[in-house]
Amino acid sequence: MITAIHWDVLLSNVALVITILYGGSILFTVFMVILENRDPVKTISWGLFIILIPVIGIIGYLIFGQNYRKVKIFSRKELVDLERISSLSRDQVNELPRQKFLKNKKINEKRNIMTLLLNNSKALLTQYNKVNILINGEETFDSIINALNIAKDHIHMEFYRWESDNIGNRIKDVLVKKAREGVKIRIIYDDVGSWKISKMYLKELKKEGIKTYAFMPVRFPYLTSKANFRNHRKIIVVDGKIGFVGGFNIADKYIHGDPKVGFWRDSHLRLEGESVHSLQMIFLVDWYFISRLIIGHQPRYFPNHKVNEECLIQITSSGPDSDWSSIMQAYFAAISTAKENIFISTPYFSPNPSILTALKTASLSGVDVRIILPARSDSTIAYWNSISYIGEMLDAGIRVYLYEKGFIHAKIIMVDRVFSSIGSANVDYRSFDLNFEVNALIYNETHTISLENDFRRDLENSHLIIPGEWKKRPLKQKISASLARILGPLY
């Protein structure tokens, strides 16, 4: 009898201790979320997630939720070259008011964006550039392979997704050939995004002396500090003279479509001129981050390659290592200062309150705001999260279209027929706060109008959402969108 009583007391005490520890861990984690002073929407989302599903919520927060913008993953100040870039950007800020290109009234109206990017990301303003806009996979990869084939000195490539499929093997064959010719080749691939790349594929590259590095490999026990911060950039630099940036990764689906979503619609840029040096610097900083090898400002990587065409471009990058969410701020500045129109194409739409308010304010102020979203997506949560914003945008007079030909993966913003942004960054929380991204910002009427023409062709393959019809959609769809909206800031 006494033994039974002792066991009852012991079990009740153990249960009490477990309950206290369990409740304490929940409260402590929620307290840590609040202390980060992050976006209130994210704070509430994580707090609810942890309280409603404690075990999964706490683990999820430890892996995916911690804010590394304040606790730097690495210090860029270790790079001497970045001090040089900082000095050049300060000079450009001071000299900007006296530049002749500001005599163009429409370009002058976007001067605040130029200054913003010089200050928040040291994105140098380049004036002489040749730009080729590439539409869809075949055109893009043909251009890439042609550029790789003419390399004489070096090839630098950086991608989120790289697969060892048909197009991956075509590119590998070219790289092997160039390596045997003495071309120095460096490759960065994201460890999570490129999970399908085979060990044999990488072994073949390394056998030829090609340097390959996985960006922030996710390995236990370092899972919590790296899993959520991915390199989403897509960069190619050939001989410091030719550069590529945009939305395409290296995989067959970008050419032949995806079984789940069908035709893959995307855009990319081929650049020659001063802007290529900016892409080169971003690559070399990332190379230093993963290899700890400083290449430095060697002439072979920054050759004097002049082009006669004038096109103002800033290449800006952002990530959890940067002081500011520079691409998000550029989007905000472009949207909030628009006078005529704002055209946006994005596969994933989860704007923070600032961007959403700027879009609605612009529309209510008489600006023609149109947004193309995919009618079907490669991510169910991302799709329903995007859908959840449509109602309030329609209420503000924004015209929203769903692309029906396949999956639209292009990440493009066009404003006032003179400013455009194209690159790897989506209009969502992940691109703004968690991913390493890179965009080309173009101040040029000809190229912006060309992108607008592509946008209008995409409208022909899209369905305009009618407000009255939207309000009558099934309750199941409304619930799915609302639940995804709560999870949106978390992923």
b/e 335-347 (16+ beta carbons within 10 angstroms → b): bbbbeeebbbbbb
Cβ neighbour number for residue 316 with a 10 Å cutoff: 28
Tell me which of 232, 241, 268, 277 is the catalytic residue.
Answer: 232
Question: Over the Cα atoms of the chain, what is R_g?
Answer: 24
Pairing of strands 419-423, 412-415: antiparallel
Tell me which of 234, 241, 253, 277 is the catalytic residue.
Answer: 234
Nearest to 156 by CA among 300, 7, 331, 3: 300
What residues have CB less than 8 Å from 422, skipping those under 6 apart? 245, 246, 247, 267, 268, 269, 410, 411, 412, 439, 440, 442, 451
Q: Sort 417 into a burial class: Cβ within 10 Å, 0-12 / 13-18 / 19+.
A: middle
Tell me which of 266, 286, 416, 458 is the catalytic residue.
Answer: 416
Tell me which of 165, 190, 191, 239 is the catalytic residue.
Answer: 239
For residue 156, indicate whether it is catalytic: no
Q: Which segments within 71-137 are labelled E, that is strand? A: 125-135
For residue 411, indicate whether it is catalytic: yes
For residue 297, indicate whether it is catalytic: no
Q: CA angle 362-364-370, nearest 5°?
A: 60
Give helix 137-149 / helix 166-180 axis angle, nearest 10°. 10
What residues have CB less than 8 Å from 189, skipping those under 6 apart? 158, 159, 160, 162, 197, 212, 213, 214, 215
Tell me which of 411, 428, 447, 458 is the catalytic residue.
Answer: 411
Q: Is the peptide bond before 221 cis (omega within 30 degrees of 0)?
A: yes
Q: Sort 41 into a burial class: Cβ within 10 Å, 0-12 / 13-18 / 19+.
A: middle
For residue 239, indicate whether it is catalytic: yes
- In angstroms, rounded to a whole number, what is the distance separating the alpha carbons of residues 409 and 348? 8
What is the DSSP track for 256-270? Answer: H-BTTTBEEE-EEEE
CA distances from 434 to 325, 427, 429 (A): 10, 12, 7
Question: Could you tell me if 147 and 325 are in contact, meaning their C-beta atoms sit under 8 angstroms apart?
Answer: no
Cβ neighbour number for residue 109 with a 10 Å cutoff: 18
- In angstroms, rounded to a whole number, what is the distance separating the alpha carbons of residues 466 and 394? 8
Pairing of strands 235-238, 399-403: unpaired
- In angstroms, rounded to a whole number, what is the distance separating the alpha carbons of residues 317 and 99? 24
Tell me which of 154, 172, 241, 409 is the catalytic residue.
Answer: 409
Active site residues: 232, 234, 239, 409, 411, 416
